[in-house]
Amino acid sequence: MKSTFDAQGEVLLVTGGANGIGAATARAFAERGGTAVVFDVAPAEDLDDRIEHHRVDVSDREAVLHAVDAVLDKHGRIDALVAGAAVQPRCDVVGMDAHTWRQTLAVNLDGVVWCCQAVLPDMIARRSGSIVVFSSGLAHAGRAQAAAYAASKGALISFAKSLAAEVADYRVRVNTVFPGVIDTPQFRAANPSGGEREHWAATTGIGSPEDVVGCLLFLLSDAATMTGSTLTRDRAFAQEAS
């Protein structure tokens, strides 16, 4: 069976979409005829002209509300939110300063909450919408020097399930993706080569951002009738040499 996701006439907001999985998702959505809008603190170096980029810090609630209003004024609707913006500092709990802890939760958790608050009134009014948030295998497994990131990703699972229950009557779906180990700027910064990267390569394998796109397009599409679910993308099958 062929996958033919059609995004014609739809508007997707991707936070953290200047890089990695978010950028791949925005590109895929635009390729399928949709309007992809990215909020990111980073410039749009890897994005082509089809994708609309706004410099927005998702931890700033007022900035998020203002930017979402601008998107709604311009496009009239936001059909879907892929909330990918995140940071992953490496530090021991004992030595962690307050700013690192607060900033990690402010971006990874608060940022998702502010974006959901901003897009939901329009989705609820239209009785249609799909929101996807990202958790991480570290939410369950944990890892030394990753407590703040792992805690934020664990909290997102609970947040998404609760929000899904709140908005189900309005036909708005909220689901969580575990993308697996994916080669992105964040992954490279958090897993330096010379040990960790090689560990992942030898165990789970390291996927590309494009490997996650199918899961996201599925969750955004009306083929995905579930809400409050978690979709885990584990290791991929080995690519055949061409």
Ligand X SMILES: NC(=O)c1ccc[n+]([C@@H]2O[C@H](COP(=O)([O-])OP(=O)(O)OC[C@H]3O[C@@H](n4cnc5c(N)ncnc54)[C@H](O)[C@@H]3O)[C@@H](O)[C@H]2O)c1
Binding site for ligand X (CB under 6 A): 15-16, 18-22, 39-42, 57-59, 84-87, 107, 111, 134, 136, 179, 181-182, 184-187
Active site residue: 29, 39, 149, 187, which one?
A: 149
Q: Residue 55 or residue 171: which is nearer to ligand X going by CB?
A: 55
The whole-angstrom separation of Cα 192 and Cα 24 is 22
Burial group, residue 87, by CB count within 10 angstroms (0-12, 13-18, 19+): buried
Among residues 7, 29, 2, which one has the least CA distance to residue 84? 29
Minimum gap (Å) between residue 133 Cβ and ligand X:
8
Q: Residue 205 or residue 228: which is nearer to ligand X going by CB?
A: 205
DSSP-assigned letter for residue 170: G
Q: Cα–chain-centroid distance for residue 219?
A: 12
- Specify whether the CB–CB gap between 216 and 175 falls below 8 A: no
Phi, psi of 64 (to 5 degrees): -65, -50
Q: Residue 55 or residue 77: which is nearer to ligand X going by CB?
A: 55
CB-based contacts of 123, cutoff 8 Å, min separation 6 = 78, 79, 129, 131, 167, 170, 172
Minimum gap (Å) between residue 50 Cβ and ligand X:
18
Minimum gap (Å) between residue 39 Cβ and ligand X:
6
Q: Residue 5 or residue 39: which is nearer to ligand X going by CB?
A: 39
Q: Which two tokens stand for residue 76?
A: 């009239």
Minimum gap (Å) between residue 19 Cβ and ligand X:
3
Sign of dihedral through CA atoms 125, 127, 129, 131? Answer: positive
Q: Residue 128 or residue 208: which is nearer to ligand X going by CB?
A: 208
Phi, psi of 230 (to 5 degrees): -120, 135
Whether residue 149 lies in the annotated active site: yes
Minimum gap (Å) between residue 171 Cβ and ligand X:
25
Q: Which residue is nearest to ligand X (CB)?
A: 20
Q: Which two tokens stand for residue 52?
A: 């609309």
Active site residues: 149
